[in-house]
Amino acid sequence: MQITQLRSQQGFSVIEALFATLLFSITVLGLMRYHQTLMQQFYYRWYQQTAWLKANDALVLYVASGDESGRDERWKTNLTVEHREEGCQSIKATVQPPIGKAVTLVRWWCRASHG
């Protein structure tokens, strides 16, 4: 009787092994999905931050030189200049990153009056 008890308690059954494999697979797939979501959010935030920097660069370049060239052509950049009061301009830079929403940055620039 003692020998039959030992044989019936050794190892795992096929059902237990399949259940453990299923649980492990679901866990690994969940972690992979979590990693994928983190990476998508990272790239989205990176593109948004870079778009803000490129919009600022376009404004600074225009104010410094009056030139609209020199922008990165891979990103859709639009620079709009509206003349306002005496010597003042409203400059609006809109940048569309490859991923995410477009960003718009507006800056007023007035020439210093000499007098």
The pLDDT, as a whole number, for residue 72 is: 67
What is the mean pLDDT for each group of 10 consecutive residues in the chain (115 residues)? 57 90 97 97 93 90 75 80 86 89 91 66
The pLDDT, as a whole number, for residue 62 is: 85
Nearest alpha-carbon partner for 72 in 88, 46, 100, 50:
50
pLDDT (tens digit per residue) in 51-84: 999 999 888 888 888 776 656 667 888 898 898 8
Nearest alpha-carbon partner for 52 in 103, 107, 109:
103
User: What is Dmax (Cα atoms) for the chain?
Assistant: 113
